[in-house]
Structure 1
Amino acid sequence: MSTTLKEKISNVIRQWEGPLTKELLREPAKYGLGQVPEKMKPDATTTVTCGFCSTGCGLNVHLKDGEAINLTPDTNYPVNLGMACPKGWEALAPLKSDDRAKSPMIRVKGKLVDVDWDSAMKRMVSEFKNVQSKYGDESVAFISTGQIPSEEMAFLGALTKFGMNMIHGDGNTRQCMATAVVSYKQSFGFDAPPYTYKDFEESDVIVLVGSNLCIAHPIMWERVAMNQNNPEIVVIDPRKTETAVAGTQHYPIAPKSDLAFFYGVANLLIQQGHIQQDYIDKYTNGFEGFIEHVKEYTPKKVEEASGIKADELQKLVDTIAAGKRVSFWWTMGVNQSHEGVRVAQSLINIALMTGNIGRPGTGANSITGQCNAMGSRLFSNTTNLLGGHDFANPEHRKKVADIIDVPVESIPEKLGWAYDQIINGIAEGKIKALWIIATNSAHSWINQQGFRDVVKNLDFLVVQDMYHTTETAELADMILPAASWSEKNGTFINSERRFGLVKKVVRAPGQALTDFNIFKLVANYWGCSDMFKKWTDPETVFKMLRECTRNQPCDFTGIEDYQMIDSLGGVQWPLPEGVELKDNERRLFADGKFHHPDGKAKFLFEDPQKPLEVPCQEYPVWLLTGRGTSSQWHTQTRTKKSSVLTKLYPKDIYVEINSKDARKLKIEPSEWVWVKSRRGKLKARAVPAYHVQEGQVFISMHYPECNYLTFPSFDPYSRQPSYKACAVKVSKMEYWEK
């Protein structure tokens, strides 16, 4: 097949609104594609961005007779360079599951029954409007996701807040990335992760905080493995994770001692002269106050808080000081904390004062969770107005209104409630109808029994998902069947700010529709479709969103269309119109200019706060939670559909317990044990091990029972839940309980 013909077929695939049919592949001449050699006639290949984590790998989907039959990692894609994790290799398997939602369903006398779209839409609109009529506009809310394309997120956020008068709406990205968002906004003036994955290869010191990169983001770890600088790989984590084992230094700090620990690191760096004063003076504000603040964090005080001895602390300081290119990376171990914003900023502060930002191999770098959490951050209307704008700014509201052609008065002047505030609003009777899109709250939300009790107060719960069997769908009054990744078109934005293309290469089952088309239907039945007459298809919306970012820090007006994204292997923002794209792996702040009005970054800090729940006599053990294996993903809604992936992780929920603690309790390996907190209990298989410290246990978050234990504490700035630490008790089961 000639290169020209390949390109033409790719163009048709990108633009094709229906499924890739046999006719397209067998009769390309009908579509102006020329003649395909006999041996290639039934086959085609196209590259799509993976729909699991935020790494954003490029996957080649192989098609035969209009069906996606296999996939392989794209060797030319700049993210993964021919590599894929187990989830990526199995990305097609979840699409074929027998429990796909194939038609709308309404609960009748306690049972969900199939209905047509007309009946579903009339019922949903009637229920929501009745609630608003009875309790006011603010009595309805939505909870969305980081796992649908940006164009769909934008449509949902605009439809609900501009067309349906929903003030309150948030996304499940509140659970994973809100802390990073707020940290960057406060420190840099905009939510701007500064790095590119190339930095993993160019650092000589890599500091990973609360990040089990080997498990959570295996392809990023592969980029670390490609580093030719013999780097120091420093892992700061209470548990000796797979990443800590593979690293060169491990600092097992006590749970929730991060802030005191990093203030102690900063204090020694300052005292010993390991700072870049010229950089600080030219590009930052607030350093003098920071010096005074960290003075009290002596090695002795740090040891009391974290358990890390003075000589170990000094070794870390020496390592950072000796590095010419030091990069600081964090993920959920920092974000999911009662004071995560200030912890993240303690890392940002160290990067700023040592001049480790804006250069290759440096940066204060938040690793994102979901495939399109970055798209949610910019375009879902949950953390800001479209394109990083401010709901409270009248100029911003007018700019966005003019671009998307809606009345400016339809755009609310306030942001609305965060996820936890919405749940509290339900408990208090202020929210009476809820629309949940592509997230499994009844598994993932903190203090799970509390959530399940609260949603009983709703008059109406709609769940929009690709499966009708999720824990949340089982609670719903209505289920709307949605198409999944590779059954729709759109864009994802990965951790390094790279737009990647999602393409429709598989037909959604039954009556399932793309989320985009479901939102169109809702707009039509609600009576506000005229407001969204410009929202004809995802690429048209992409171009509107592009215009919304003009003159913003995330300006990508230089990205022409989907074809440009596809041909270049993704494109990172910013790329303003008229700027030549010289390098497709770009970092931010090379010029030292940040996004506050004065162009400078801020040092931000405050005293550490004690967690609201700590171990005590009754519940003497810290519970740590996190990812289990690279074969599992979030609530396992998709990964458990793959027979390959389910062979790669334990079937039963398990608890890792320190071997000494296990001996004291006379607990044997694989024995069933009770793990109890003040909120609930679960039984799990015991896994005695020395990579968990004494007085601590670890449970993988992928199992639904885990969040029956977790304590509902939230960062005051980001409203992100603190999943990572609470107090529990572990005990043997009596023989009659097993």
Structure 2
Amino acid sequence: MTIEAQNPRLSAGSLLHQRDGRLTRELLLEPGAHGLGLAPQRLKPDATTSMVCGYCSTGCSLNVHLKDGQAVNLSPTTSYPVNLGMACPKGWEALTVLDAPDRATTPLLRNAAGRLAPVDWPTAMGEFVRRFQSIQRQHGPHSIAFLSTGQMPTEEMAFLGSLAKFGLGMLHGDGNTRQCMASAVVAYKQSFGFDSPPYSYADFEESDVLVFVGANPCLAHPIMWERVMRNRRSPEIVVIDPRATETAMAATQHLALAPKSDQTLFYGLARILIKNGWIDSRFINQSTAGFEQFWEFVQPFDLDRVVAETRLKASQIERLAETIHERGRSSFWWTMGVNQSHQGVRTAQSIINVALLTGNIGRPGTGANSITGQCNAMGSRLFSNTTGLLGGHDFTNAQHREKVAGVLGIDTATIPTENSLAYNEIMEGILRGKIKGLWVICTNPAHSWINQSSARDILDRLDFLVVQDMYHTTETAQRAHLVLPAAGWGEKEGTFINSERRIGVIKKVRKAPGQALADFQIFRLVAEAWGCGKMFSKWTSPAAVFESMKELSRGQPCDFSGVRDYAFLDERGGVQWPYPQEGGDDHPERRLFADGRFFHPDGRARFVFEEPRPMTELPSAQYPLLLLTGRGTASQWHTQTRTSKSAVLRKLYPEKPYVELNPGDAKRLAIVPNRWVTVSSQRGQMRALAVIAPTVAVGTVFIPMHYEATNRLTDAVFDPYSKQPSYKACAVRVSPD
């Protein structure tokens, strides 16, 4: 049966059709064309325009130089308050990766022979609807799910989440933000009352003490590190990390603690600060709750216990406490070394607690500051409709559902009254046969999900797997039944929200190749094909979705209803939320909580704490080493879906996977440099080149996360509150080939 027969309101002409052997885009060529509403900004054929980079959460602005209407080169924007004329290697090469030969340029459908073969868009949409609706009829409405991303513009995230949950009846959907930021999100919600990173990048330059916990900004966020280098206050730079990372090498204090003992360290640090009276009693009394209980809780974390569990020297711990007390403005920064843990939420809150104790929040150069991972993970956290209802609302709150329904003009009954399964629970649901169909958008779980062999086996059990991506060669796309070709950064419009809550614009500066479409346009096709297009009829363009997002944010801590439009964001160099319609602060760099008021109903932040738990998989006689994973170089990004397409970037990082070992371990295992070794865990093994380096401690090894085989080794262990995977620690052995 054709898609038109299934849905008489939908004709091939309203989608895409063949004319003279070529695909004609009638409905979808440009947002704003053919009755689609608000048109994109029209750029002069030979001009320069600026837009936010599409890699990490720093949110740098890049000047894109056009010739004959096409982007030909770029350079960093000197006036943008984020990067101030700087760019990392990934940003410089952002256009190059769009020209890769393995771009997905047409829909691909797996045929009877088991091969992915080109089809047109009407056929692809017909198969999408037929297969997913058949699964729902046979197994129930919640038997299909989606996995999204922190890489798409916020408007596309909002459209996807609304389409999937309100239109297609998917209760369950999550994003790859679960892999990097979930622990910080839960920590902020519990401690502050809302997911609210409090800082501005100006704080890098205004701190007297910068404490980096499980963070290596020198590689992972190079422009943030450049902002640290602009600090003129002769700051103490403290790095708390088991490895001597590039950031640690530049630090004034490096606390190379035992892996996953950060929580114990910060409880012990809190005890010293309280015992010595090195706290801000006025701030504690006026702005926090639970201090007395916290003080009682940390009493057992004396110096002897902390030394034993962290393997640090007592003098290192005492020096850090003295530094925080004596130097004035202290800021605390963390990333994946904290979040990707079996106890990431409580570890993040142990850091937050120290900031609250010392009043280091709401003032210049202070803060308990989670550095986000992906370019739009903050947008995902607020608007993807995965972990919460649009605009930072709650699916379980009737008033919130009514507000969202009113803004969108839909029936409240279409909004789920319960939360989705988390990413790991969706994967478990597939394994148990509860979820039969999966729509994966702009992410690559067959590479990135923990315990890779098990993850691939789970994906292969699906009755129908749809992958929507820029490239048809990703490990997940190669397992798909249907591949939908998507436009990438620079080929569509929208906004990103960076780590410091700054909303910035991306623009269409070139055409997507072949029949590839912006994700926004694909979602419109799906809505029409499914028969729920009327529900989203006013979302005629990303700019129209942005108007709805403004209303959804109104009255929330993230209120940005005062942002006029995309041009306003361009003029202002991006805008940090909150920016309400009335009383918006026009300062280009702003922090939260300057008034000492937080987002809990009583206006107070909470001390949240819990006894640390041991790692679930400790080294043993069979697997005597502890594997750490993380960023390899500043030129690599996640699963290398994009960065591997740049010849320049490929020259800047090792092509072959490698493992770093301490010289003592290498000698004991008879391993020599630059020789192949096998790294094994209980779940699998990989081959890697041996790198002998004193930067890793005895008993630990390090492998960059970017290589395909790395997650064959990692253990599927999750934080109980955030459900974030613990990528950073599992037991392995290394043996020479």
Q: In the TM superposition, what is the alpha-carbon distance from 1:582 to its structure 2 partner?
A: 3.0
**1:101 counterpart = 2:99:** no
What is residue 70 of structure 2 aligned with on the other side? Answer: 67
Task: State the secondary structure of the residue aligned to 2:282.
Answer: helix
Q: Return the letter of the residue paired with 2:385.
A: N
- SS of the residue corresponding to residue 717 of structure 1 reads coil
- 1:152 and 2:156 are equivalent in the alignment: yes
Question: For 1:253, which of 248, 253, 257 is the aligned residue?
Answer: 257
1:49 pairs with 48, 52, 60, which one? Answer: 52
Q: TM-score, normalised by structure 2?
A: 0.94
* Selected match of 2:579 from 572, 575, 582: 575
Query: Does residue 87 of structure 1 match 2:96?
Result: no
Counterpart Cα distance in 1 of 2:492 and 2:542: 9
Q: Distance in 1 between matches of 2:546 and 2:576?
A: 15
2:20 equivalent in structure 1:
none
Q: Secondary structure at 2:653's aligned position in 1? A: coil
Q: 1: CA distance between counterparts of 2:546 and 2:704?
A: 37
Partner of 1:4: none
Two-structure CA RMSD over aligned residues (Å): 1.4
Q: Which amino acid aligns with 2:108?
A: M
> Counterpart of 2:344?
340
TM value normalised by structure 1: 0.94
How far has the Cα of 1:135 moved from its partner? 0.4
Post-superposition Cα deviations, 1:100-156, rounded to whole Å, max 9, x if no partner, equal 000000001210000000000000110000000000011000000000000000000
Cα distance in 2 for residues equivalent to 1:385 and 1:411: 9
Q: Which residue of 1 aligns with 2:283?
A: 279
CA distance in structure 2 between the partners assigned to 1:315 and 1:671 by the alignment: 41
Give the direction of change, closer, same or farther, for the CA distance of 1:136–1:32 in structure 2 (3 Å limit). Answer: closer
Supply the distance in 1 between the matched residues of 2:584 and 2:174 (Cα, whole angstroms): 36
What does 1:390-539 align with in structure 2 at a 5 Å threshold?
A: 390-539=394-543
Tell me if structure 1 keeps the 8 A contact 2:31–2:540. Answer: no
Contact 1:209/1:236 (<8 A) preserved: yes
Distance in 1 separating the partners of 2:507 and 2:193:
34
Moved over 3 A (4+): 16-20
Q: Letter of the aligned partner of 2:591 in structure 1?
A: R
Structure 1: how far apart are the matches of 2:725 and 2:391?
Answer: 25
Deviation at 1:383, TM superposition (A): 1.2
2:720 aligned with 1:719, yes or no? no
Cα drift, residue 581 of structure 1: 3.3
Structure 1 residue matching 2:495: 3-state secondary structure: strand
Distance 1:331 1:456 in 2: 32
SS in 2 for 1:43: coil
Q: Residue 138 of structure 1: which of 131, 138, 142 is its match?
A: 142
CA shift, 1:580, in A, is 4.2
What is the CA–CA distance in structure 1 between the aligned matches of 2:193 and 2:147, rounded to whole Å? 26
- The Cα of 1:42 is off from its aligned counterpart by 5.5
User: How far has the Cα of 1:165 moved from its partner?
Assistant: 0.5
Distance, in Å, in 2 between the alignment partners of 1:434 and 1:611 is 32
The one-letter code sitting in structure 2 at the alignment partner of 1:565 is L
Deviations 1:470-491 (A, max 9, x none): 0110110110000000100000
Cα deviation for residue 32 of structure 1 reads 11
Q: Secondary structure at the match of 2:468?
A: strand
The answer (yes or no) to whether the contact 1:377–1:383 under 8 Å persists in 2 is yes
User: Structure 2 counterpart of 1:157, which letter?
Assistant: G
Aligned residue pairs total: 702
**1:668-707 deviation per Cα after TM superposition (whole angstroms, max 9, x unaligned):** 1101001000000001000001000000000000001000
Q: SS where residue 383 of structure 1 aligns?
A: coil
- Structure 2: how far apart are the matches of 1:581 and 1:610? 45
Aligned to 1:671: 675
Any unmatched runs of 5+ in structure 1? 1-15, 21-30, 34-40, 734-738
Residue 67 of structure 1 deviates from its aligned partner by 1.4
Deviation at 1:180, TM superposition (A): 0.7
Q: 1:588 aligns with which of 584, 587, 592?
A: 592
Deviation of 1:415 (Å) = 1.2
Q: Deviations over 1:37-77 (max 9, x none)?
A: xxxx9621000100000000000000101111100000001
1:101-180 equivalences in 2 (<5 Å): 101-108=104-111, 109-180=113-184
Indicate the residue corresponding to 2:320 in structure 1.
Answer: 316
Alignment match of 1:181 (pick from 182, 185, 193): 185
Report the 3-state secondary structure (helix = DSSP H, G, I; strand = E; otherwise coil) of the residue aligned with 1:357.
coil
Write the distance in 2 (CA, Å) between the matches of 1:83 and 1:138: 46
1:370 Cα deviation from its structure 2 partner: 0.2
Q: Hey, what's the Cα distance between the residues in 1 that align with 2:729 and 2:546?
A: 40
Separation of aligned partners in 2, 1:124 and 1:497: 36
How far 1:19 sits from its partner (Å)?
Answer: 10
Give the gaps of 5 or more residues in structure 2: 1-27, 33-40
**Matched residue of 2:47: which SS?**
strand
Note if contact 1:182-1:191 (Cα within 8 Å) is conserved in structure 2: yes
Structure 1 position 656, deviation (Å) = 0.3
